[in-house]
Amino acid sequence: MKVLVTGVAGFIGHHTARRLAETKRCEVLGVDNLSDYYDPALKRARLEQLAPLPDFRFLQADFADAEKFAGLVSHFKPDYVVHLGAQPGVRFSMEQPAAYTRSNLDGFASVLEACRRTPPKHLVFASSSSVYGAGAKPPFREDDNTDQPISYYGATKKANELMAHSYAHNHGLALTGLRFFTVYGPWGRPDMAPTLFARAILEGKPLKLFNHGRNLRDFTYVDDIVDGVVKVLLYPPADRSLPATGTAATRAAGLQPGAAAGANPALRIFNLGHHRPVETLLFVRMLEELLGRKAEIELLPPQPGDMFETCADLTRIQAAMPYAPKVPLQDGLRKFVEWFRSYYRL
């Protein structure tokens, strides 16, 4: 089968493309514009890891270029699309919102329209736990109110879910959105906590912990995230046996409230997390032990746009398919540290 993966030079995109290409049942076309939000050398290094795979091909392209991307999809005719490309980062969205408008709003509209013209069996796209905003109480459930995301990044991801609902309802596209919770692991982004913390510890620089290190995060190892992405991808809404009617049945099927089971498939939303949040300060202590160095910790007040706690309720996805995160934080951090030392030579 043919799978198109956007954001393939990114952290989760790299791991997802590798998993799919290594099955030897998928022809994977990866697309990425290699933006300079962080060092493109890391993105190219990820692509170098994928290049030897015989079932993988890469094309540098911007999915926000609507006509060109629609032409690409029309030519490749993917059976499945995994849309992981986006402008990431909660704090950066407060400084450069225009980048998020282009990539996360205009770009996602481009992806939806391309799939409307050349419909795949299933389009799976990345949402985020950042859609859970003011008033959200952990563990976060997919049917919680998400009308008040705190960050602009979270707002764009909430908008993606609404845009997808419109295309599912009006055009019959099979769509599933995945709300990722604090993904970490080898080849992780340099602007994320594990890399920032590890570098500060090894270089003896002050490590700034906002909210005095008391924030709780549902750290999820990247392999567990990829397991969820691939399993969800192969369970398109149209191919599943859905309950007949009713709100309870709709929720059990993973459909958004108001979707009619048995009709054209509506948007499904699933959390993908570990369901065991850890305090940031404890996370740092675990890194200290693995790195063999003590951190110079600077405790600071809460940062605007940050959530104090994230925790994924996995009831919905586990009712729909066999998904369970397997990698404990200690094991995942050990694998991350091994990669970090090797890649950055620290």
- Among all residues, which ones are annotated catalytic? 153
**Buried b / exposed e across 243-267, counting CB within 10 Å, b at 16+?**
eeeeeeebbbbbbbeebebeeebbb
- The label of the residue with tokens 């500060």 reads 200
35: left (phi over 0), alpha (psi -120 to 50) or beta: beta
Nearest to 178 by CA among 196, 163, 160, 197: 160
Residue 48 CA to residue 36 CA, distance in Å, equals: 18
Q: Provide the CA 338 distance to its chain's centre, in angstroms.
A: 23
Handedness of CA 24, 26, 27, 31 (dihedral sign): negative
279: left (phi over 0), alpha (psi -120 to 50) or beta: beta
274: left (phi over 0), alpha (psi -120 to 50) or beta: alpha
